[in-house]
Structure 1
Amino acid sequence: MRARQLSRWTAGLVAVAAVGTTTACGGAQEAPTTTGAERHRTPTNTQRIAEEKAAEKAALTAYAGYLAASRTASRQSDPQHPELTRFLGDPLLTRVRLSLVKARDNGAVSAGTIRSDPTVTSVNLDSKPPTVEIQDCLDATGYRLVYRSAGKKTVPGTRGSRHLATATAERYPDGRWLISTGAAHRDQPC
């Protein structure tokens, strides 16, 4: 019985540590977006293109920071790790912290590595707030949760996979780009 409970929460933690479990595939925001190809086809506004490129770069930097901060925090199961607030915004920040609390309460920490290859799929500077959508092929095959007190024994059901992940970066009023939503699409291998 305990193994089943651990398997459920650990699967959730692996998803959060890999990218998060909030919804990113749907949403209330349906403002028009531009793809990379559309931006390059109609370069009528040089300033606009420069702004979109800067947004892409900032969003990818935030995404890389989010992955690194999540991995570092999960190695200690530390929901208050200071780097989390540097790269994550709500609701994803809260979900990651709750997963880290569950891991800590169950004596688990992360081990291993995750490989990432993100790309920007759309930029919408006209939405409120401005957003950048990111798609990634996460390779979490070398990532797992282990029991801290059991000599780093792997928690059952926590081996990672290679799958599609999506995330949304938002520009906050203070100008920072933070990752606010993310989803691991385990049913979509890449």
Structure 2
Amino acid sequence: MARRDQLGWNGSRAIPAFLLTVCVALTAACTSSSESDNAKDKTAMPTLSAAPSKLASLDPTEAAKEQALAAYKGYWAELPKVYAMPAIEGTEIKRYAAAEALSQAEASVKNLSTTKSVMTGLPILTNPTITDAALDKKTPSVTISSCLDVVQWKIVNKASGEPAAMPSNRVTKYVVVALVERWEDGWKVLKATPKADQPC
């Protein structure tokens, strides 16, 4: 029980609080095992960038959306590497995350290090979709909604490999909503919020 307290559990949703802030739903601490997803839509780690030839054939609006989606997928490809070490250095997370998303990743790295834990396995990102776009602003942005399956993404003791205890009512598949902005050095995830009350 002491270990559960160290990780900062949110009793109301049975999701580690520090992982919720990280918006990563980092843990397999959540379960709503609906296995009815279409298997062909699943990819453990999506392609990190849109092909240049494909972007060249798109109009500027569609090209911007493809770039934003590629950055979002890149974020979810790098985050498991961050928590597997745990460390920011040695990954490309800063290429894809900034502001709150990056600071929360850094806080979670510190928390995992303090509890002598790491994350093993991978999350499965499904159906990332742009639900809103403001591409005419001074700083263009999009909102992306996706389904995240974290059943295989687990917190374990770094030394023993023993999995952290998880509540019986954990949710493992839920919607994540992210804000992605175009900065001078590319599109970046600024915030990603897990919606534990929205299974997918």
TM-score tier, shorter chain, comes to: 0.7 to 0.9
Q: In proportion to residue count, which structure has more strand?
A: 2
Cα RMSD for the two superposed structures = 2.2
Measured in 1, the distance between the counterparts of 2:25 and 2:97 equals: 11
Measured in 1, the distance between the counterparts of 2:148 and 2:115 equals: 26
Task: Give unmatched runs, 5+ long, in structure 2.
Answer: 10-14, 27-57
TM-score, normalised by the number of residues in structure 2: 0.72
Shift of 1:82: 3.5
Instruction: Look up the match of 1:182.
Output: 192
Q: In proportion to residue count, which structure has more helix?
A: 1
Instruction: Look up the match of 2:177.
Output: 166
SS of the aligned residue for 1:133 comes to strand
Matched residue pairs, number? 160
Instruction: Look up the match of 1:84.
Output: 93
Instruction: Look up the match of 2:104.
Output: 95
Shift of 1:17: 6.8
TM-score, normalised by the number of residues in structure 1: 0.76
Instruction: Look up the match of 1:6.
Output: 6
Q: Which runs of 4+ in 1 moved over 6 A?
A: none
Q: What amino acid does structure 2 have at the position aligned with 1:163?
A: Y
Instruction: Look up the match of 2:45.
Output: none
Tell whether 2:137 aligns with 1:137.
no
Tell whether 2:24 aligns with 1:18.
yes
SS of the aligned residue for 2:136 comes to coil
Instruction: Look up the match of 1:107.
Output: 116
Q: What amino acid does structure 1 have at the position aligned with 2:2?
A: R
Instruction: Look up the match of 1:38.
Output: none
Change (3 A) 1:13 1:154: farther
Measured in 2, the distance between the counterparts of 1:96 and 1:17 equals: 9
Kept in 1: contact 2:24–2:192 (CA 8 A): no
Measured in 2, the distance between the counterparts of 1:68 and 1:90 equals: 18
Measured in 1, the distance between the counterparts of 2:134 and 2:162 equals: 45
Change (3 A) 1:19 1:64: farther
Change (3 A) 1:185 1:168: same
Tell whether 2:90 aligns with 1:59.
no
Kept in 1: contact 2:123–2:150 (CA 8 A): yes
Shift of 1:187: 1.3
Task: Give unmatched runs, 5+ long, in structure 1.
Answer: 21-48
Kept in 2: contact 1:55–1:132 (CA 8 A): no
Instruction: Look up the match of 1:147.
Output: 157
**Structure 1 vs Structure 2: percent identity of aligned residues?**
26
Which of 56, 62, 73 matches 2:82? 73
Q: What amino acid does structure 1 have at the position aligned with 2:24?
A: A
Instruction: Look up the match of 1:42.
Output: none
SS of the aligned residue for 1:116 comes to strand
Measured in 2, the distance between the counterparts of 1:167 and 1:142 equals: 22
